[in-house]
Amino acid sequence: MRLQKISFIIAFVALAIFAQAQEGYQMKPNEKYTEIDFLSSYYTQDGDNAAVTGGVGTEELTDFATIIVVNVPLDSTQSINATLGLDIYSSASTDNIDNNRSSASIMDKRAYANFGYTKKLLSKGFTYGAKVGFSSEYDYTSINGGINLAQEFNNGNTEFSFSAQAFLDNWKTYFPVELRGDVTVPTTSRNSYNAQLTYSQVLSKRLQMSLSVEAIYMDGLLSTPFHRVYFNDEAATDIERLPSTRLKIPLAVRLNYKPTDNLIVRSYYRFYTDDFGIDAHTFNIELPYHINDHWTLSPFYRFHTQTGSEYFAPFAEHTSTDEFYTSDYDLSELSSTKYGLGISYTPLYGVARGKVPFTSKVLMFNSIALRVSRYTRDTGLSGYSGSIGLNFRL
């Protein structure tokens, strides 16, 4: 992981030095360009309720993630895009699957890619698109596909959009070492299907809103095979057992208000319910403040609270005669907060620019954004994250 960070820093500095050596180009406002976003983040957490060890024990985890998003306009109405990502993480809790500290399970990586196409029918105000993708980790593989549709009305001030997506996953089962050969699961597949309808409206020059409703249906192996469960009526141990289907319904509203020329209030509320017995409320607010034409400061705060699933109980509080059980605190009653600060630098003519070698194209380093945050929840889990985002235009 340290090598990944060093490589990123060297590449970033080299690119900045090269770009600053080139001068004399200003991109035109209506010019079509390829846009490249690079995001790198680091997250670390700790807690004492690991599901791998039945709801007790370390939740220590670190994650280093890198994402590259490329959007290429084919003409004034069509574009293609690609998202490539890699997560490298170290987890002390999954290292306890086989009770062999510092084994191969302590560190792993997740790689994924998504590709999309979008076309806009300008005369009708209608946009449609499609996407496909895949993801791979040590214990699962996944493929996905989806569509998105949008219709504008009222000179673009009103929009209805619809999206649908399917994820087809397959587990490679890893059981706790002491249960191998004694436990089985009914299937190794897990499928998710979601559909979302969104209504967006410009209410005034300073106020915009959107309403969305979503349905997510899952079937297959919804439990995690290496999560342990301990009972209060016998010494035996089992793996987590959950129903083979789950329906989730989120409802959300966004409200963006610009009280002054320099300040934007971005607010978000979501209500969530599912048939595991969880009801949740999430509130988020972000306040981007434009210090000047170049710099923007963005403090943010998020609060989340939820009821616990009917299938959850802490360590050794389940009864062995129950049909379903889990000690994963993600499914427990909890409240959490996340707060932090973002800062971005977007000068009018870019941070730096230069010609791409052996071509007539110009690469502009358009903006840079930094973001730090702290996450806490009342189960004892806490974490910190930091990220850097770079935007380029070609």
What pLDDT shows up at residue 376?
98
Average pLDDT over residues 330-351: 95
Residue 67: closest CA among 102, 96, 99, 41: 41
How confident is the model over 212-232, as a mean pLDDT? 97
Return the amino acid letter for 99.
N
Q: Where are the domains of the chain?
A: 2-393
pLDDT in tens, 363-378: 899 999 999 999 999 9
pLDDT attached to residue 21: 40
| pLDDT for residue 212 is more than 50 | yes
* Residue 96: predicted pLDDT: 81
What's the pLDDT at 31? Answer: 60
Query: 2-393, which class in CATH?
Result: mainly beta
The stretch 312-338 carries a mean pLDDT of 97
Higher pLDDT, 394 or 9: 394
What is the predicted pLDDT for the residue at 32?
77
Band (pLDDT 50/70/90 cuts) for residue 275 is very high
Determine the average pLDDT of the residues in 125-139. 95
The pLDDT value recorded for residue 43 is 97
How, if at all, do strands 265-274 and 245-257 pair? antiparallel
Give the percent of the chain with pLDDT over 90: 79
Question: pLDDT tens digits, residue range 137-153?
Answer: 988 899 999 999 999 99
**pLDDT, position 98:** 76
pLDDT at 359: 82
Question: For the residues 5-19, what does the mean pLDDT come to?
Answer: 46
Task: Determine the pLDDT at residue 18.
Answer: 44
Find where tokens 């935007």 sit: 391
- Mean pLDDT computed over 262-287: 98
Per-residue tokens: 217:
């249906």
The phi, psi pair for 309, rounded to 5°, reads -65, 150
Nearest to 175 by CA among 58, 244, 96, 92: 96
Structure confidence at residue 4 as a pLDDT band (50, 70, 90): very low
Q: What percent of the chain has pLDDT over 70?
A: 90
- Residue 287: pLDDT band (50, 70, 90) is very high
CA gap 394, 27 in Å, rounded: 10
Helix, strand and coil in the chain, % to nearest 5: 10, 55, 35
pLDDT in tens, 58-70: 999 999 999 999 9
Q: What is the mean pLDDT of the chain?
A: 90
What SS3 state is found at 212?
A: strand
Asked whether residue 1 carries a pLDDT value surpassing 80, the answer given is: no
Which pair of structure tokens corresponds to residue 72? 């290429």
H, E, C per residue of 299-364: EEEEEEEECCCCCECCCCCECCCCCCEECCHHHCCEEEEEEEEEEEECCCCCCEEEECCCCCCEEE
Mean pLDDT of 276-294: 97
Question: What pLDDT score does 87 carry?
Answer: 95
